A and B are shown apart, each in its own frame.
Chain A
C-alpha cells in the first residue's frame, strides 16, 4: 500500500515539471512556419533534395602573364619601387644559386642533407616582402627565400647547414632547420603541420596584446592533410587569431601527387568551411604573390581573424637530397615548368621590360653569389662544431640531476676512449 501511495505521489510530483515542456511546445506552435533556426547553423529550408557540391573552382589571381607583361589592368605598377624590385630578384637568384651549390655539396658528401626551392622562389621571396619586421613566422622547411628577404646572411645559412658553433640551433637539428629570433622566424621542426596550431596560438597572443601584426604560417599542400591543419584553422577562426595561413601548393608531397592528396578544390576551398576568407594566387608571379599577401595581411589585422592564401606553383627539384623524383614524374614535365613557367625568368622579363635590369646582370650577380657561397662552404666545413656540453644543455632551463650524472659518465668514458669519437667536437673543460 505504502508503495502505491509513494508511487502515486511520485507520479503526481512529476506532473509539475511536465508543465514547462508543454509550455515550450505551445510556444513553438506559434512560430513562423518557415523559421529554420537551429543552434548549429544559420540555414533555410528547401524542398529540393540536393547534395551540395563545388560547382566552380576558385580562380588563380595573377598580375603578370607567362612572359612577364602586366595583364591585370587594375594593378598599380608604382607600388614596388625599383630598388625593392631588384632586391627581390637578387634574392631569388641568390636562393637559386645557394640551392645549386648546397645540392652539389650534399652529392659530394660535404653536407648531410639539403632541400631546394626550384620553382617556388617567387612564392617564398615575394610573400616575405609585404611583411613587417615584427611579424612572426612559423614555417615548414622550404622557405629559405623568406629568410633571405628578411635579411639572413649566407654566413648564417652555412652555420645551420654545416652545424657549426655559430648555428642558432647549436648543431642539434638537421640542415634546413632554421630559426632566428632577430628575424622573427621561429625554429623549424621536421614533424609536418605541427607549427600550424602554434601559429594559431601565437596569432591569438598578438590579438590579446593589441599588436597590429600578423603571424604567418607556411605549409605545403601535403602537410594540409595532417590533423594539425584542421585543428589550427578551426582554432584560429573560432578564437579570432591574427594568423595568415600561407600554403605552398607545389603539386607534390615527396612522390604523392595532389590527386592522391585530396579530392576537393585544392586547399583554398577548405578555408570557407572554417569561415576563413581565402584566396588562390599564382605562386610563380612575384607581383601577384606580393599584392595578395599584402592584402591578406591587412585583412588579418582589420578583421582580427585568420586569412588563407594558397599559392600555386610546381616543385621542380627533388623533394630533398634523399629523393629521386625521376621515379615518379617525367623529365619533360620538369623541363616544361622550367622553360614555360619559371618564376625567376618571369620576373626578370618584367624587370627587363621596365628597363631596370638585364640578363647579363643576372648572370654576373649569380656568379658573384656562387663564388662567395663556395668560399663560405669551404670555410664552414672547417669550422669548429659546438662544444659537447651543448648536448646536455637546454633540455630544460637547467640541467636536471639525472642528466648531470649522464654527462659525467660520458666524460669519464671519453677520458678512456676519446680517440674513438669525432675530433671536431671539443669537450675540454667538461666534468
Chain B
C-alpha cells in the first residue's frame, strides 16, 4: 500500500513502471504440487493462469480477436463475465493494432495480455514487436518500458492446419534482442510459465502448441505458482546423448528416446522452455557430460533456432563433442497440408538422428 501511494506521488505520468507486488504471493511449482490439484488440459491451464493474473493485478487486461466469448480455443472462457468487458474484450481484426495498443497500455503501467489468434498471423504485428516492443526500454534509456506486455499465440502443427494454421515462428523473434520467448510443453508448464511471462518486466511472446490444448491433460495445481523463465528443464537424465526440444517436440523426442533406450542408448532429454534468453548453461553442462547433441524443432531447418544452439554448443563444447551435432527440423518449405506427416521431424526421424549421433 505504501509503495503504491509513494509511486503515485512520485509519478505524474505512468510510463510503464511495474509494481510486481502481485508476484510476491506466487509459489514455486514444487510448493504448488503439494497443494490441491485438478485434472485439466492445456487450454484450461491457460484460462486458469489468465484468471489468476486478472485477479492478482487490477491493471491486467486481456484482449484480442474473439476473446470476449471465450476465444476460438476456449482459453479465455468465462473471463469477460468475471472481470467485465472493460478488462476482457474483443478488438477489431488488426494484429498490428492489437500489439501496438498493448504497448501503449504497458507504457502507462498496465499489464496487457494480448492474443494473436494464430502465430501464423503475428506477422502484421512484426514491426510493432521488433521495432517497438523489443526496443522500447533500450531506446528510451530506461525512461520507460513496455514490460507489462505479454503476447499469447497458438503455434505449431495441428494435423491439418496447412500453411497458415501450423507455423512455428520463434526463430524470427529469437533474432531480436529485447524480447523473451516462451513455449510450454504441457498444462502444468503452461500455467506456471504463462504467469511468469505476464509478470516478467520484459515484453514476452508466449507460444501455445495448439495440438496440446486438449491433448495435454495433467493434475495441475490450483495455486498461483510461477516457473522461472530462462531455465531449461532436464526432463530425463541420461549419459550417451543430449536431446533438446521445446513445445510438442518434447513429447516427440520422448518417444524417440524411448525407442533409442531399447537399443541401449541412454538419452538426456531437455525441454528448453524459454527460447530467448535461452539456458545455455544447462545445455552446455549436459553436452559436456554426454558428448553428443540432437536438437529438434518443427520450424524450418535453415536459420531455425536449432542452428543457434548448434553453433553455440560447438563453440563452447568443442573438445567434448564426439560427433557432429544433429538437427532434425521442419523441411525448408512452407508448411504443407497433405504432406504434413512427411514434413514434420517425427519420432522416427529423431530416433535416426539419435542413432547417427551415437554411432558416428
Give A residues with C-beta under 8 Å from B. 133-134, 136, 138, 167-170, 172-173, 177, 179-182, 184, 186-187, 189, 191, 194, 196-206, 208-209, 215, 227-228, 230-232, 234-235, 238-239, 390, 393-397, 400-403
In the complex, the chain B residue whose C-beta lies closest to that of A390 is B141
Is there contact, CB below 8 Å, between A189 and B178?
no
Q: Is B313 an interface residue (CB 8 A)?
A: no
Query: Which of B112, B139, B230, B277 has most A Cβ within 10 Å?
Result: B139
Is there contact, CB below 8 Å, between A173 and B100?
no
Q: Can you list 8 A-B pairs with a CB-CB distance of less than 8 A?
A: A170-B142, A187-B139, A198-B103, A198-B107, A206-B108, A230-B94, A393-B142, A397-B147
Q: Is B96 an interface residue (CB 8 A)?
A: yes
Interface size class of B (residues with CB under 8 A): 35 or more
Partner of B100 from the list A133, A134, A201, A402 (CB cut-off 8 Å) is A201
How far in angstroms is the closest Cβ of chain A from B349? 29
Q: Is B61 an interface residue (CB 8 A)?
A: yes
In the complex, the chain A residue whose C-beta lies closest to that of B96 is A231
Partner of A201 from the list B12, B105, B180, B281 (CB cut-off 8 Å) is B105
Is there contact, CB below 8 Å, between A136 and B132?
no
Is there contact, CB below 8 Å, between A133 and B94?
no
Q: Bound state CA distance, A422 and B260, in angstroms?
A: 56
Is there contact, CB below 8 Å, between B138 and A395?
yes
A201 and B139 in contact (CB under 8 A), knowing A194-B128, A397-B201? no
In the complex, the chain A residue whose C-beta lies closest to that of B13 is A184
Instruction: Give per-residue flags for B103-115: 1 if the beta carbon is below 8 A from chain A beta carbons, else 0.
Output: 1111111101000
Chain A positions within 8 Å of B137 at CB level = 394-397
Is there contact, CB below 8 Å, between B143 and A198?
no
Chain B positions within 8 Å of A234 at CB level = 92, 94, 97
Is there contact, CB below 8 Å, between A177 and B139?
yes
How far in angstroms is the closest Cβ of chain B from A243? 9
Q: Is B89 an interface residue (CB 8 A)?
A: yes
Is there contact, CB below 8 Å, between A169 and B110?
no
How far in angstroms is the closest Cβ of chain B from A301? 16
Instruction: Give per-residue flags for B263-282: 1 if the beta carbon is below 8 A from chain A beta carbons, else 0.
Output: 00000000000000110110
In the complex, the chain A residue whose C-beta lies closest to that of B61 is A208
Chain A positions within 8 Å of B277 at CB level = 396, 400-402
Is there contact, CB below 8 Å, between A200 and B92?
no
Is there contact, CB below 8 Å, between B14 and A205?
yes
Q: Is B44 an interface residue (CB 8 A)?
A: no
Is there contact, CB below 8 Å, between A181 and B138?
no
Chain A positions within 8 Å of B87 at CB level = 208
In the complex, the chain A residue whose C-beta lies closest to that of B134 is A395
Chain B positions within 8 Å of A184 at CB level = 12-13
Q: Is B36 an interface residue (CB 8 A)?
A: no
How far in angstroms is the closest Cβ of chain A from B306? 16
Is there contact, CB below 8 Å, between A133 and B12?
yes
Q: Bound state CA distance, A170 and B89, in angstroms?
A: 38
Is there contact, CB below 8 Å, between A198 and B141?
no
Q: Is B216 an interface residue (CB 8 A)?
A: no
Q: Is B102 an interface residue (CB 8 A)?
A: yes
Q: Bound state CA distance, A133 and B132, in angstroms?
A: 25
Is there contact, CB below 8 Å, between A203 and B104?
yes
Q: Bound state CA distance, A208 and B110, in angstroms?
A: 10
In the complex, the chain A residue whose C-beta lies closest to that of B11 is A181
Chain A positions within 8 Å of B131 at CB level = 189, 191, 194
A228 and B96 in contact (CB under 8 A), knowing A205-B110, A208-B110, A397-B137? yes
How far in angstroms is the closest Cβ of chain B from A403? 8
In the complex, the chain A residue whose C-beta lies closest to that of B109 is A205
How far in angstroms is the closest Cβ of chain A from B277? 4
Is there contact, CB below 8 Å, between A187 and B140?
yes
In the complex, the chain B residue whose C-beta lies closest to that of A207 is B86
Is there contact, CB below 8 Å, between A196 and B143?
no
In the complex, the chain B residue whose C-beta lies closest to that of A201 is B104
Chain B positions within 8 Å of A205 at CB level = 14, 104-105, 108-110
Chain B positions within 8 Å of A208 at CB level = 61, 86-87, 110
Is there contact, CB below 8 Å, between A202 and B127?
no
Q: Bound state CA distance, A206 and B144, in angstroms?
A: 17
How far in angstroms is the closest Cβ of chain B from A230? 7
Q: Bound state CA distance, A182 and B13, in angstroms?
A: 7
Q: Is B159 an interface residue (CB 8 A)?
A: no
Chain B positions within 8 Å of A179 at CB level = 140-141, 143-144
Partner of A200 from the list B101, B138, B144 (CB cut-off 8 Å) is B101
Q: Bound state CA distance, A43 and B13, in angstroms?
A: 43
Is there contact, CB below 8 Å, between A170 and B141?
yes
Partner of B139 from the list A173, A196, A235, A401 (CB cut-off 8 Å) is A173
Is there contact, CB below 8 Å, between A198 and B132?
yes
How far in angstroms is the closest Cβ of chain A from B103? 5
A197 and B141 in contact (CB under 8 A), knowing A134-B13, A238-B91, A402-B280? no
Nearest 9 pairs of A and B residues by beta carbon = A197-B100, A201-B104, A231-B97, A198-B104, A400-B277, A201-B101, A187-B140, A170-B141, A202-B104
